């Protein structure tokens, strides 16, 4: 039986755990606080399409209790990963794969990227200070993952699925592999969509395109996606950020298969939704700025590409977050 540890059993991690349990994997959870207590007492419960399922899974706040795993799915915010490196090590066997189910540019991004730039096989300092994840955990363990579902914790131990079922997977090298195939099959068996992508980085950037533009504007204004997309001045601002982001991405070989206007229109059709960064502000949670914005600016700086609009919006967002006590760097 395939052993899978979900490190960070929040909304997305809990959703994946329930689906993988349904598929027959041996699933364990790393959680904390009231959420952990509720899972231990009543099991993890998933509400989807009006139906509730219960999943009795091993849950702990001490990874050392779980032993070596076949897969570790990191489903916590990217800024939290450097702080769990030592705790994660007891879960690692010789062939343990690590799936980063996080937003933004991941810590492994330039492993086998073959961009022909100075960035190849180098860690991203914005999300992996000092390259500790890259070096101590090992970029060779990484499997790329782009997360599309929207879920929330309805109450401790209860995951409410809102929308979406797709988790795209891919090796950093672009090759087909048995470990990606196995995980994809398990996710599909659990009722999800899990396409195996040869160019997983392209998909990372198309999602990042929206994250690095709509997220800061929403965080600063409180506006929803449709309000931003239908406001001429804000739409122009988002377009400018996306154009800078596209230039940076294309400099490292990314292919954008949709136009900026179509990408904005797609977001603007989502009525009333506020991106995660704004949701975090309203909930008083630390903001996910570095993988969505700072990492893109790090690439621009190292490649000698100007990104003034993104730099200005990043400065405003970071000052806002520091003022609110939600960003420490």
**Domain chopping of the chain, boundaries:** 3-198, 203-323
Q: H or E stretch including 7?
A: strand 3-7
Angle at 136 (CA atoms; ends 134, 141), nearest 5 degrees: 60
User: Which pair of structure tokens corresponds to residue 258?
Assistant: 């949709």
pLDDT tens digits along 24-42: 999 999 999 999 999 999 9
pLDDT band at 328 (very low <50, low <70, confident <90, very high): confident
Q: Residue ranges of the alpha helices (H) in the chain?
A: 11-22, 33-42, 85-88, 132, 178-189, 200-211, 214-221, 225-230, 232-251, 260-268, 276-283, 295-303, 308-323
**Is 203-323 in the same CATH topology as 3-198?**
no
Mean of all residue pLDDT scores within the chain: 96
CATH class of 3-198: alpha beta
> Stretch 165-180: mean pLDDT, rounded?
97
CA–CA distance, 85 with 216 (Å, rounded to integer): 29
Q: Are 13 and 7 in contact (CB under 8 A)?
A: yes
pLDDT tens digits along 181-219: 999 999 999 999 999 999 999 999 999 999 999 999 999
> Stretch 7-14: mean pLDDT, rounded?
95
Cα→Cα distances 107→8, 19, 136, 187, 240, Å: 17, 26, 12, 23, 26
> Stretch 148-164: mean pLDDT, rounded?
93
The pLDDT value given to residue 230? 97
The pLDDT value given to residue 15? 97
- pLDDT tops 90 at residue 67: yes
pLDDT band at 322 (very low <50, low <70, confident <90, very high): very high
Lowest mean pLDDT among 60-69, 267-276, 316-325: 267-276
CA–CA distance, 83 with 329 (Å, rounded to integer): 14
CA–CA distance, 92 with 63 (Å, rounded to integer): 10
- pLDDT tops 90 at residue 329: no
> Nearest-CA neighbor of 46 among 160, 154, 190?
160
> Stretch 73-91: mean pLDDT, rounded?
95
What is the set of active-site residues? Answer: 207
> Stretch 35-54: mean pLDDT, rounded?
96
Cα→Cα distances 25→5, 18, 100, 256, Å: 10, 10, 18, 35
The pLDDT value given to residue 273? 87
CA–CA distance, 182 with 184 (Å, rounded to integer): 5
pLDDT tens digits along 217-226: 999 999 999 9
Tell me the pairing of strands 142-147 and 167-170.
antiparallel
The pLDDT value given to residue 300? 98
CATH class of 203-323: mainly alpha
> Nearest-CA neighbor of 36 among 57, 22, 51?
57
- pLDDT tops 90 at residue 115: yes
pTM for the complete prediction?
0.95
The pLDDT value given to residue 256? 96
Q: Are 66 and 28 in contact (CB under 8 A)?
A: yes
The pLDDT value given to residue 156? 96
Provide the percentage of residues in the chain whose pLDDT is more than 70: 100
């Amino acid at each position: 039986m395939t052993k899978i540890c979900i490190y960070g059993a929040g909304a997305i991690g809990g959703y994946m755990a329930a689906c993988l349990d349904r598929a027959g994997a041996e699933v364990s959870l790393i959680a904390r606080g009231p959420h952990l207590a509720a899972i231990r007492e009543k099991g993890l419960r998933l509400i989807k399409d009006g139906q509730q399922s219960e999943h009795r899974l091993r849950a702990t706040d001490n990874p050392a209790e779980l032993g070596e795993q076949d897969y570790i799915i990191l489903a916590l915010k990217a800024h939290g990963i450097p702080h769990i490196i030592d705790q994660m090590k007891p879960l690692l066997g010789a062939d343990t794969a690590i799936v980063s189910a996080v937003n933004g540019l991941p810590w492994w991004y330039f492993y086998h990227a073959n961009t022909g730039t100075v960035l190849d096989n180098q860690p991203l300092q914005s999300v992996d200070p000092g390259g500790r994840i890259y070096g101590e955990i090992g970029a060779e363990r990484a499997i790329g993952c782009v997360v599309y579902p929207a879920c929330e914790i309805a109450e401790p131990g209860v995951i409410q699925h809102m929308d979406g079922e797709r988790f795209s997977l891919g090796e950093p090298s672009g090759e087909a592999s048995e470990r990606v195939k196995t995980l994809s099959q398990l996710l599909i068996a659990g009722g999800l969509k899990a396409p195996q992508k040869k160019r997983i980085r392209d998909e990372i950037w198309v999602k990042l395109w929206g994250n690095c533009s709509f997220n800061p504007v929403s965080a600063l204004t409180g506006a929803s996606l449709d309000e931003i997309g239908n406001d001429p001045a804000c739409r122009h601002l988002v377009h400018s950020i996306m154009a800078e982001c596209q230039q940076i991405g294309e400099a490292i070989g990314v292919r954008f298969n949709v136009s900026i206007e179509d990408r904005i229109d797609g977001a603007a059709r989502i009525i009333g939704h506020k991106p995660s960064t704004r949701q975090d502000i309203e909930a008083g949670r630390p903001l996910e700025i570095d993988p969505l914005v700072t990492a893109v600016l790090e690439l621009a700086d190292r490649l000698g590409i100007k990104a003034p609009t993104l730099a200005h919006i990043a400065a405003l967002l970071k000052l806002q977050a520091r003022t609110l006590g939600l960003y420490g760097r």
